[in-house]
Structure 1
Amino acid sequence: MKKSIVGAVLGVMLTGAASVHAADFVMDTKNAHSFIQFKMSHLGYSWVLGRFNKFDGEFSYDEANPSAAKVSVNIDPSSVDTNHAERDKHIRSEDFLHVDEFPSAKFVSKKVIPEGDGKAKIVGDLTLRGVTKEVVLDAKHIAGGNDPWGGYREGFEGTTTFKLKDFGIPKSLGPAAEEIQLYMTVEGIRK
């Protein structure tokens, strides 16, 4: 009888302790500790690098149960920045992102598949230029802990590659530029 009571109390304590680790986070974009960047081949000779300056997002994470993690990111495609004003104007046009008609893009996770050592596949829907397709982010937990301002943070990075034509982008810059690579690094502040 004593053993079952002790076991029950331990079970409640452990269950309670596990739920303490689960938390919701908001991505720190205000202080520029989160980034969404991309890389695309230019004619096969070099790379065009860019980023989206305006986005926000949230995620939930429990280190004891990473498969229960969720993430959602909203992106303002008109904030594209390749460090070249004329190219950025072209990327915003109907040839590429067509931001006048499609003023937002987003990623919403559907499931997380842990791979060990802080790595995971995050399967989710990416909506870009009005088209929604499933993509897989190769993600990695960087670290988590207390910050100097009394908060708690978790950091992650992730990459994915997809074909531009899969999202209805009509402009072709040749076979070397059919795909784009996205790199995302986020630092979340616990709510």
Structure 2
Amino acid sequence: MKTQLKAALLLASTMGLTLPASAADYTIDTRGAHASINFKVNHLGYSFVVGRFDTFSGDFSYDQAAPEATTVSVKIDATSVNSNHAERDKHIRSKDFLAVDQYPEASFTSSKYEANGDEGGKLYGQLTLRGVTKDIVIDVTKVGEGKDPWGGYRAGFVGSTELVMKDFGIPTNLGPKSTTVAMDLVIEGIKK
């Protein structure tokens, strides 16, 4: 049996064939600031408040040959919310919005991925925010993957989803145009 396997591997290598790749594990590159979790909320129907979470970490597993096996896990420091306005950030951290004194961490864990072609799909999973866990869907587009200049290997994706604030127990109502939060995600991972 070992002889047959060796012969098959030798034949594949001499013919220039490659065996199917298995899923690779990646760490999200937050140290190099090559990833971001951004949000946008309509402000009273007149403008938008935009911001991000400065501190988060996570991992994902991805195989281009079997994207349906993709998994993602992310932890977010909710206290790191940053809308570039200190007083507003203090309000966002309060019980009116994120209640970070009671719920300092948010998290996302994927449950399945449905590819809709080579470069995108829908990532399903559970988001826990403000102590409430809900199923969400993130529309994902692959940006690219390959070797980096430092000898590593990277893969990158962007994603977007929309959250209804009251679904996560956020009590503040800023009007009918301000009930949802648009989330934009930029994720670049370094292969472990």
Relative to structure 1, is the Cα distance of residues 13 and 122 closer, same or farther in structure 2, using a 3 angstrom cutoff? farther
Which residue identity lines up with residue 105 of structure 1 in the other structure? A
Q: TM-score, normalised by structure 1?
A: 0.91
Question: Within 1, Cα distance between the matches of 2:46 and 2:88?
Answer: 17
Aligned pair partner of 1:17 in 7, 14, 19: 19
Which residue identity lines up with residue 9 of structure 1 in the other structure? A
Question: Within 1, Cα distance between the matches of 2:177 and 2:118?
Answer: 33
Give the corresponding residue for 1:141.
Answer: 142
Give the corresponding residue for 1:170.
Answer: 171
Give the corresponding residue for 1:113.
Answer: 114
Displacement after TM superposition at 1:17 (Å):
2.3
Give the corresponding residue for 2:101.
Answer: 100
Give the 3-state SS of the residue equivalent to 2:68 in structure 1. helix
String of CA shifts for 1:118-162, please: whole Å, max 9, x gaps: 111000000000000000000011000000100000000000001
Question: Within 1, Cα distance between the matches of 2:111 and 2:57?
Answer: 18
Which residue identity lines up with residue 169 of structure 2 in the other structure? G
Give the corresponding residue for 1:85.
Answer: 86
Displacement after TM superposition at 1:9 (Å):
3.2
After superposing on structure 2, the runs of 4+ consecutive aligned residues of structure 1 that deviate more than 2 Å are: none
Structure 2: gaps of 5 or more residues: none
Structure 1: gaps of 5 or more residues: none
Give the 3-state SS of the residue equivalent to 1:173 in structure 2. coil
Question: Within 2, Cα distance between the matches of 1:130 and 1:13?
Answer: 52
Give the corresponding residue for 2:159.
Answer: 158
Q: Percent identity?
A: 53
Question: Within 2, Cα distance between the matches of 1:140 and 1:45?
Answer: 30
Displacement after TM superposition at 1:22 (Å):
1.8
Count residues with an aligned counterpart.
183
Give the corresponding residue for 2:49.
Answer: 48
Give the corresponding residue for 2:124.
Answer: 123
Q: TM-score, normalised by structure 2?
A: 0.91
String of CA shifts for 1:65-124, please: whole Å, max 9, x gaps: 000000011000100000000000000000000000001000100000000141110000
Give the corresponding residue for 2:181.
Answer: 180
Displacement after TM superposition at 1:18 (Å):
1.6
